[in-house]
Every structure is written in structure tokens, then in C-alpha cells.
Homo-oligomer: A and B are copies of this chain.
Amino acid sequence: MASNTGLALFTDLYQLTMAQAYFQHGMFAPATFSFFVRKFPPDRAYFVAAGLEDVLHFLEEIRFTKADIDYLHSTAMFSDNFLEYLKGLRFAGDVWAVPEGKLFFCDEPVIEVTAPIIEAQIVETFVVNQTNFQSLIATKASRTVFAARGKRVVDFSLRRTHGIDAGMKVARASFIGGFEATSNVLAGQQYGIPVVGTMAHSFVIAFEREIDAFRAFADSFPDNTVLLVDTYDTLEGARKAAVVALELEARGKRARGVRLDSGDISYLSREVRRILDEARLSHVRIVASGGLDEHEVARLLENGAPVDSFGVGTKMGVSADAPWLDCAYKLVKYKGRPVLKLSTGKATLPDEKQVFRYRDEAGLLHHDVIGLRHETPPDGAPAEHLLSQVMRGGRRLGASPTLKEAQERFIQEFARLPAGCKVLQDPRHYPVELSPGLTALRDRIQQEVVEEEIGKA
């Protein structure tokens, strides 16, 4: 576990070799890098921005410790004067970004970092790592929230997330994407996310009889009793849960729910609802979990399954159908010169940019225009400017928004996204155009690069 070290070395080696070459060639001019996503994964037509808070925190904190420098020295790849320079390195750049919780689309800049090229280059790995992952998960989570049609959805993914940080960031990003709570206690402590959970199968089988386990739990948590009923047989389990719920009633308490974690949830939830209702326990809610994702949640609700709350785990926490984004952090300007690359399938847009977002008369999102940062929005109509400056000279501008604020921003924005862009399969693509200024600049630089590097076509 890397818990007691700094994160300056959390970078790809090539960031440091490039940095040394920049250093040795006196290249300290400002560079702007732009983070964006190239392509939608299958069945996606929007992304939810997340990860910026961790990026800004990292940029404020980055420094190379003595142990870091000693390690780099031991590789025999770096010169003493470069390592001396690294010792004093701080991030003193500017950052423009899309706020967490906002929607964004392919090719749109989400974070733009401007700093002396070494600083802007070295931080790439962390910026991409956090923004890619948290946006991926916030997006996946939002799909489940959409599928759940207002029913409660909570994060149960911690055991199968990709390591410790992933467990924390899934709780964080899924909350931004509309989840209501998490099972992750550390995320409750660190982020203030409500925590939920009651019992696992091991609790039931640690007792000689299932009903003994239910009674013991109700005794310990009379105000928070959710009984897991599928350890042996779901319907028998539900009948025993009803017995224990009625015993609680006799003590003036109310059981909160039962949880189904396996089998045909659609059928079982109906039967369990009937068992509970016949025992006059209609206030006892049904929680479903076990291998759920947005498609299964949608299917259950389309079938009328009387599920009140969904515990969604692994498939959300690893974004199982699309576990990565085709994203990039690319140099777009160096020393005042807008630049781009032409690599097959990976060409980039030059210069510092802004995204102009237009709505229709009803307030729904209508289309976006990617333009140059200081360009006047092309259509004349009022447009929202999606990126704002959040860091200047290495210092944050303004206080961090709370996680709840990011969630609310998502909820408001998502409500204005056309329904066709949200559907779980084959969604409609949202219109994103390039501004006249950006188009002209790109065409001119492409032409120059082709002439310079490849020869006249």
C-alpha cells in the first residue's frame, strides 16, 4: 500500500524523461494540455464530469520528496541538476475545467492545464487517471439512477472495485451520479456520504437457525432491521422475517425491510410482497441486490417487480460493460503556438478552448459548440460557458463545492438532457459542433503540419 508516500512518482516514466529533455533544452515556456474523451463506449451518449476535486488537490500538493529523488537517482537515468530542479518543483499553473456533475460530450475539453511545460507534462498521469475513472463511474451510475425511475439506488460495490482508491472513488462518483448512499464506511467518514448495510449470509449461517439470526439482529438494531432472506430458501426466509417483524411490532418497533440477493428477483419480490402484505407488513420494504446493473433494474421495474430499493454493486463499480474511456490529455498550445497531432484515429484539436452550451425554449439542452477560449459564442444567442477557471498560479479560485452540490448540479443538468440521449441502448447522439474560429485554426495548422512533416500531398 502506498499510503505513506507522496504521489509525485505516481506518473509514467516517460513524463520524467521528457521533462529532463525539456529541462536540458531550456524549454520552460507555458504549455496547455487538454483532457477530453475521443469516443463514446457502446450505448453511451453523454458523460458526467467527476474527479476534478482530486486533480486540484493533487496539483496543490505535488512535490518530490527526498526519497523520491533518491529513487530517481538510483535509476541512473537522470542528471543531478535535473533532479535538483525537481526537488524545488511546485505546480504553479492555471486550470480551466467543467465543474463536477456537469454533462459533457466527446471531443469537449473537460480540464485544460496551462503551466511551464514540465509541470503540465508531469501531472498528466494523475489528471487522466482520476478524471477518466471518476467520470466513467459517475456516468455508469447515472444510467442506473435513470433506470430506477426514482427508486432508491445505493452503492454496494466495495468488495469488487479495483483496489482501495477505486472503492473510495466509486462511492464518491456514484454519489455525484445520483446514488443515495454507499456501503463503504470510509467513504461515509471521508466524504459524508450516507452509509447503509445490515447483514450478510454469514450472519445467518453463524446461527443454528435462520430465525435465531433474524431475532438477534432485530434485537441489536430494532430501528434498522433489514433481513437477508435468501440464505436457504427465499420464501421460507421471508415467512420467518415476517414472524420477526411482527415480534418487533409487538415491541413498538418496525422492521425496515427484507433483502433478496439471488434467484429470480422478479418472481420472488412479488411473492415476498404478498407474504409481507398478508402479515399486514406493507410498510416493510423490499431491497434487491446481487449482480444488478442498469439493464436488470430497468427489466425488473418494467415487469412490475415491487422492489423499493436497489443495492448495485460490482457491475456499476467496475463499469462492467465499458471499464475505460478512450480519453486523452493532449498538448494543444506551446509557447503561444497552437499545436495538434495527426495520428490515425487520434487527431486532436488545437489551442485553448471553451464549450458553449445552448438550450431550447423549454430549457432543454439543445446543442454545444466547441470553440476557442476567447472566441465570442458564434450564434449570437446566449450560451452557457462550460469551462471556468478554477486555479491560477497553482492556487484554487474559490472554495471546493460540496459533494452534494456536485450531485445537485448533475440532477439539474440531467433533467434537461433530452430523453433520447439517456436511453440505455442505442441512445441518440447530442449535437456538438466546432466553432468557425476553431475550424479555421485546425485546418490551417493541419495544412502547415502536412507541408512541414509529410510533404505536399
Chain A residues proximal to chain B, CB less than 8 Å:
1-5, 7, 9-18, 20-22, 24-25, 27, 31, 33, 54, 57-58, 67-68, 71-72, 75, 77, 117, 121, 124-125, 128-130, 132-133, 156, 158-169, 183-186, 188-190, 195-206, 209-210, 216-217, 219-221, 224, 230-233, 236, 261-263, 314-315, 318-320, 323-325, 327, 329-331, 334, 339-346, 449-450, 452-455
Q: How close is A336's CB to chain B, nearest CB, in angstroms?
A: 12
Q: By the criterion CB–CB under 8 Å, are A199 and B232 in contact?
A: no
For the complex formed by this chain, how many copies does it contain in all? 2
CB-contact partner of A324 in B160, B329, B343, B449, under 8 A: B160
Residues in B with CB closer than 8 Å to A4 are 3-4
CA distance A452 to B208 in the complex (A): 9
Residues in B with CB closer than 8 Å to A13 are 183-185, 188, 195-198
Residues in B with CB closer than 8 Å to A314 are 324
- With contact pairs A17-B224, A164-B10, A220-B24 given, residues A230 and B188 touching in the complex (Cβ less than 8 Å): no
Q: By the criterion CB–CB under 8 Å, are A453 and B206 in contact?
A: no
Residues in B with CB closer than 8 Å to A263 are 343-345
CA distance A454 to B232 in the complex (A): 8
Q: By the criterion CB–CB under 8 Å, are A205 and B341 in contact?
A: yes
Q: By the criterion CB–CB under 8 Å, are A2 and B190 in contact?
A: yes
CA distance A27 to B219 in the complex (A): 14
Residues in B with CB closer than 8 Å to A262 are 343-346
Residues in B with CB closer than 8 Å to A198 are 13-14, 17-18
Q: How close is A338's CB to chain B, nearest CB, in angstroms?
A: 10
CA distance A216 to B265 in the complex (A): 63
Residues in B with CB closer than 8 Å to A261 are 343
CB-contact partner of A162 in B77, B163, B232, B455, under 8 A: B163
Residues in B with CB closer than 8 Å to A204 are 341
Known: A12-B158, A71-B189, A236-B454. 14 other contacts (CB 8 A): A1-B168, A2-B164, A10-B186, A13-B184, A15-B200, A21-B217, A67-B189, A162-B323, A210-B453, A232-B454, A261-B343, A262-B343, A314-B324, A318-B324
CB-contact partner of A159 in B124, B162, B196, B233, under 8 A: B124
Q: By the criterion CB–CB under 8 Å, are A188 and B75 in contact?
A: yes
Q: By the criterion CB–CB under 8 Å, are A339 and B162 in contact?
A: no
- With contact pairs A124-B159, A166-B162, A221-B21 given, residues A197 and B133 touching in the complex (Cβ less than 8 Å): no
6 residue pairs of the A-B complex, CB under 8 angstroms, read A17-B199, A18-B200, A21-B203, A22-B203, A163-B163, A164-B165
Residues in B with CB closer than 8 Å to A343 are 201, 230-232, 261-263
Residues in B with CB closer than 8 Å to A339 are 205-206
CA distance A125 to B433 in the complex (A): 46
CA distance A330 to B204 in the complex (A): 11
A21: nearest chain-B partner, CB-CB? B220
CA distance A54 to B125 in the complex (A): 24
CB-contact partner of A160 in B14, B132, B331, under 8 A: B132
Q: By the criterion CB–CB under 8 Å, are A224 and B164 in contact?
A: no
Residues in B with CB closer than 8 Å to A329 are 159
CA distance A224 to B33 in the complex (A): 26
Q: By the criterion CB–CB under 8 Å, are A344 and B230 in contact?
A: yes
CA distance A323 to B125 in the complex (A): 21
CB-contact partner of A129 in B158, B205, B231, under 8 A: B158
CB-contact partner of A453 in B159, B201, B209, B320, under 8 A: B209
Residues in B with CB closer than 8 Å to A219 are 21, 24-25
Residues in B with CB closer than 8 Å to A205 are 331, 334, 339-341
CA distance A72 to B345 in the complex (A): 51
